[in-house]
Amino acid sequence: MASKIPVVFFGSGPVAADSLELLLKNFEVIAVITKPKPAHHRGDFPVIDVAESNKLPLYTVSNKKELSALIATKPFRTEVAILIDFGIIVSQDVIDYFPRGIINSHFSLLPEWRGADPITFAILSGQNQTGVSLMVLVEAMDEGPLISFGIQELTGTETTPVLTEKLVLLSDALLRDSVRDYLETGKVIDQMEVSAQVPGYPKEPTYSRKLTKDDGLLDFSKPADQLEREIRAYIEWPKSRTSLAGIDVVITSSSITDDRGEIGQFTIKDKHLLIHTASGSLRVDTLTPAGKGNMTAEAFIAGYKQRLTS
C-alpha cells in the first residue's frame, strides 16, 4: 500500500471541516491553516475543532497579508497543498511556495459558477447537473487549469445542505483518486478545453456571488418555479421570508401549482395554502411563523385561521 501523500490543508468553513475529516483517511495532513476563532464567538469552530481533536499542527491567519507572512517563514516541507472553503485570497507567493501548487476543490463544473457560492447558484439556476472541479489555484478567480472533475446529477429537489453533503463526498473521492497521478505527471487541462470536449459541460464561464439577507425576501412577481428553487437554495441562509396576513413567516418547503390569482395574494384551497405568483402559484408545504417551530401549512392554517380568513 502506497504511503499517504503529505499535504497542507487550507480551509475555514463547515464544508472545510467535513472535508478535512475525510481527507485524513487518505492523506497525511502535516498542517492546517484556517481563520482564527473570533474573540466573542460561542460554540464550535469546525476546522479548529477537527484539527485539535486529531492533534494536527494548526495555524490561524486573518487575511492575505498574514498568510503571506506565515509562508515567508518557510514552515512546511511538502510538494502540494489542498484548499477547500478557505475564505481568504491567496497570493502568488503562497501558491509558489509549494512546488506543485495548491489544489482547490471547487464545488461546480468549472468554468460554470466561478466565485463564492457555486452550490446555491446551481440550485437557483434549475440546471440538471453540477459537480466538483479539482483546480490548480491561480490568483485570478477560479481560472486555474483542472486536474480532474466529477459530475453530480440533480433531481430538482435538492436543498443546499443536501447537495453540499453529496459534493463533499464527491470531492473527497476525486482527491483520493487524482492527486497522486497529478504529482507524478503534472498533467492538467484548460477549463475551456474540457468545456469544448465533454457533452453537457458548461461552454462559457458563469459567476456566483455572496448572498445577502435581502436575497431571502420572496418576490412574488417572479414565477413560482423560480421561487420554489429559492426556497430550497436559501433554506439555511438567508431563509425565504414573507408576511401572510401580517404574520411573518419563513417558508421551508414548497411545490408548484397551475392555480392563478392576484400576484402576491394567498388563497386557502382544500387545506392548502397557495401564494399566487407571476406564473402559477406556490403551494406552501411547511413554514416557520415568527417565534414558533416549523409546521405544516395545514397546521398553520388551523392555528391562525381567524387572521388568515378575516
Q: Which residue has the cell 406552501?
A: 284
Chosen domain end from 163, 197, 231: 197
pLDDT for res 97: 97
Q: What count of other Cβ atoms lies within 10 Å of the Cβ of residue 122?
A: 27
Q: What is the CATH number of the domain that holds 140?
A: 3.40.50.170
- Dist CA 265 CA 260 (whole Å): 10
Chosen domain end from 197, 231, 259: 197
Are 164 and 193 in the same domain? yes
What are the φ and ψ backbone dihedral angles of 93, each rounded to 5 degrees?
-65, -30
Upper half-sphere CA count for residue 135 (Cβ side, 13 Å): 28
What are the φ and ψ backbone dihedral angles of 261, each rounded to 5 degrees?
-175, -175
pLDDT for res 1: 60
Question: What DSSP string describes 124-159?
Answer: HHT-SEEEEEEEE--SSTT-SPEEEEEEEE--S---
Chosen domain end from 137, 172, 197: 197
What does the radius of gyration of the chain's CA atoms come to, in whole angstroms? 23
| 205 part of a folded domain | no
Tens-digit pLDDT profile for residues 82-129: 999 999 999 999 999 999 999 999 999 999 999 999 999 999 999 999
Q: Name the 3-class secondary structure at 217.
A: strand
The DSSP H or E segment spanning 32 is: strand 27-34
Task: With beta carbons less than 8 A apart as the criterion, state whether 94 and 66 touch.
Answer: no
Which DSSP letter does residue 232 get?
H
Residue numbers of the domain that contains 246: 213-309
What are the φ and ψ backbone dihedral angles of 225, each rounded to 5 degrees?
-65, -35
Are 67 and 191 in the same domain? yes
Which DSSP letter does residue 282 get?
E
pLDDT for res 41: 65
Sign of CA dihedral 39, 43, 47, 49: positive
pLDDT for res 305: 87
pLDDT for res 194: 86
Q: Name the 3-class secondary structure at 191.
A: helix
- Dist CA 236 CA 223 (whole Å): 22
pLDDT for res 50: 97
What are the φ and ψ backbone dihedral angles of 240, each rounded to 5 degrees?
-90, 110
pLDDT for res 217: 98
Are 281 and 249 in the same domain? yes
| 21 part of a folded domain | yes
- Dist CA 2 CA 198 (whole Å): 32
Are 34 and 148 in the same domain? yes
Are 158 and 282 in the same domain? no
| 165 part of a folded domain | yes
| 206 part of a folded domain | no
pLDDT for res 118: 97
If phi > 0 it is left, if psi is from -120 to 50 it is alpha, else beta; for residue 64 that is: alpha
Are 192 and 219 in the same domain? no
Question: What DSSP string describes 235-269?
Answer: TTTT-EEEEETTEEEEEEEEEEE----STT-EEEE
Total domains in the chain come to 2
Are 51 and 81 in the same domain? yes
Write out 83-123 in H/E/C secondary structure. ECCCCCCCCHHHHHHCCCCEEEEECCCCCCCECCCHHHHHH
Are 22 and 55 in the same domain? yes
Are 66 and 122 in the same domain? yes
> Vertex 86, ends 195 and 124: CA angle to 5°?
50
| 208 part of a folded domain | no
Are 87 and 40 in the same domain? yes
| 30 part of a folded domain | yes
- Dist CA 65 CA 139 (whole Å): 14
| 127 part of a folded domain | yes
Per-residue pLDDT of the chain (310 residues; tens, 9 = 90+): 678 999 999 999 999 999 999 999 999 999 999 999 887 767 678 999 999 999 999 999 999 999 999 999 999 999 999 999 999 999 999 999 999 999 999 999 999 999 999 999 999 999 999 999 999 999 999 999 999 999 999 999 999 999 999 999 999 999 999 999 999 999 999 999 888 888 888 888 999 999 999 999 999 999 999 999 999 999 999 999 999 999 999 999 999 999 999 999 999 998 899 999 999 999 999 999 999 999 999 999 999 988 888 7
The DSSP H or E segment spanning 181 is: helix 160-185
| 156 part of a folded domain | yes
Q: What is the CATH number of the domain that holds 246?
A: 3.10.25.10
Report if pTM > 0.85.
Answer: yes
- Dist CA 118 CA 127 (whole Å): 12
Are 58 and 123 in the same domain? yes
Are 100 and 49 in the same domain? yes
